Chains A and B, each alone.
Chain A
């Protein structure tokens, strides 16, 4: 069969591969090369070695964006997953209206980041003005917590669906055995349910972690990095470096930042996958 197929390999792979080459492989390799250059367009690149990378680590806006992103990612990953898992537990208890609640909680996920950002900007600004606090434009603490609330609103439903699928996959006889052995509900949760849904936890933590690190639309719409870049995350910082300032030195710096960002995201997702995969059990 392989032989017959191979003669047609061209037909099957070329369309996707060509688009993938144009859309990903070529820009990726070019981007990697340009991070060592000074340029304003792809055609006028001049090699300048590691200079861009040295500047990246001297750029305070980048370092503060890095810190902001890490602290945002930690808090949002924990809160989204705890809330989503809690909801999933409740919604697998056969309470009345379970399907309706699932539908409602999942809904914000379908709305795009830009729209979500503006919806919450209007809401949060109103609350802030009623309690006589500075608005989002001048209030970095509100910006931080606003982003967290927004991300929870958007992602909890999605993760809840994944946890529900995981919880429903636990064989009934395992739970029955725990009950017969006299485990109370908290023991069942910690000793049986949690280890059994470990693969769902791996997926959810992976998704929330990478989403939080790559967050751009919501950040741009809700705070746009205001006040004074203090709520700017890495993706937005890179975007601003590229497009908010004119001059040859910025684009190279932006590309070098992007490479560092890319390496960080890959490293973190690899570490996370390794760490949680080890805890997975087979039923």
Chain B
């Protein structure tokens, strides 16, 4: 196909450029406002740039980190996300491989249940789940990953089985004949082959766990532990006047790491999303 830069393409380029400026504007707006003095932020002055008198520097950021417990929330969120994703990748890939390679009524039922769990809305189980979590003492940031493993299993198993089906059995059979037991076969032969799918599943599950609001709110004790989405909601939901300055600083502190991770791993993230959708 011949390459051409027609006038139409140039016009589209300009339109897309304008659109993408508009697309990032909301984030830019919050960034600007997070540098204003708290008292200078009102509903109708959001679009104005900060002037010398109302420029607050990093005061809002320091306030958010210092007195609003942002760092603590960051640690909880990080720990929950990492532990959950690691658990999901490790256990679900094993389970998915078994489901594909062994054909019994149990694995068929399991596969159906996993697929089913992806469609069921969270409200269906939220009350009973939070009570179960309390009873089993799964209500701290250190072991909430068990619940995330159960809840994230649907998508993960679904994507892993999709990939395992395309892997020829012969290599694994050869390993078994050579005297590997199934665990060795799995970890030395299959596990390395699953890497690309691991990246996709990992990205999708991490996006979900990191941003999840309702599940940690219901399961964790909100007075003791707040993840980042819980912290931001708490800002708004608490009594009295909302401190807009620190709140916007908090939003930026949440958004900036995401943007950095996104820029660094852009290729993988976009590929992961596309792969996840094709399997879904």
Chain A residues with a Cβ under 8 A of chain B = 1-2, 4-9, 11-13, 15-17, 19-28, 30-31, 34, 41-42, 90-91, 93-97, 100-115, 118-120, 122-123, 125-126, 129-130, 135, 153, 158, 161-162, 164-165, 172, 200, 203-204, 206-207, 210, 213-214, 216-217, 220-221, 234-235, 238-239, 242, 251, 254-255, 257-259, 261-262, 265-266, 269
Contacts and interface: CB of A to CB of B under 8 A. Distances in A.
B97 to A, nearest CB: 7
10 contacts: A4-B181, A13-B98, A23-B147, A105-B20, A107-B262, A109-B207, A111-B254, A130-B44, A203-B280, A221-B236
Given A26-B132, A172-B1, A269-B119, A8 B183 contact: yes
Given A17-B110, A105-B20, A5 B101 contact: yes
A112 B273 contact: no
Nearest to B30: A119
A269 B121 CA distance: 12
Contact of A42 (B9, B131, B138): B131
Contacts of B126: 239, 242, 258
Contact of A115 (B91, B129, B255, B277): B255
A161 B236 CA distance: 33
Nearest to B236: A118
B262 A262 contact: no
Contacts of A262: 120-121, 123-124
B176 A1 contact: yes
B278 interface: yes
B150 A161 contact: no
A269 B94 CA distance: 29
Contacts of B125: 24, 27-28, 31
Contact of B20 (A21, A104, A153): A104
B142 interface: no
B20 to A, nearest CB: 4
Contact of B274 (A11, A27, A161, A265): A161
Contact of A8 (B47, B157, B181): B181
Nearest to A135: B43
B110 A112 contact: no
A266 B119 contact: yes
User: Top 5 closest A-B pairs, CB basis?
Assistant: A23-B150, A112-B211, A27-B125, A126-B46, A19-B150
Contact of B207 (A2, A110, A206, A251): A110
A21 B153 CA distance: 11
Contacts of B262: 103, 107, 110
Contact of A120 (B26, B117, B212, B277): B26
Contacts of A104: 20, 23-24
B182 A95 contact: no
A110 B258 contact: yes
Interface of B: 1, 3, 5, 9, 12-13, 16-17, 19-20, 23-24, 26-27, 29-30, 33, 43-47, 87, 91-92, 94-95, 97-99, 101-104, 107, 110, 113-114, 117, 119-129, 131-132, 136, 138, 146-151, 153-154, 157, 169, 172-173, 176, 181-183, 186, 207, 210-214, 228-229, 232-233, 236, 244, 247-248, 251, 254-255, 258-259, 262-263, 266, 269-270, 273-274, 277-278, 280
A37 to B, nearest CB: 12
Contacts of A9: 98, 102
B200 to A, nearest CB: 12
A134 B46 CA distance: 16
Given A104-B20, A216-B214, A269-B119, A28 B151 contact: no
Given A101-B20, A115-B232, A126 B43 contact: yes
Contacts of B91: 15-16, 19
B23 A123 contact: no
Given A126-B46, A207-B280, A258 B149 contact: no
B142 to A, nearest CB: 15
B123 A107 contact: no
Contacts of B147: 19, 22-23
A234 B46 CA distance: 32
Given A17-B110, A255-B127, A111 B214 contact: no
A27 B278 contact: no
A259 B244 CA distance: 38
A121 B170 CA distance: 57
Given A4-B182, A217-B214, A265-B119, A115 B229 contact: yes
A22 B12 contact: no
A242 B20 contact: no
B1 A221 contact: no
Nearest to A235: B123
A207 B280 CA distance: 9
Contacts of B23: 104-105, 107-108, 153
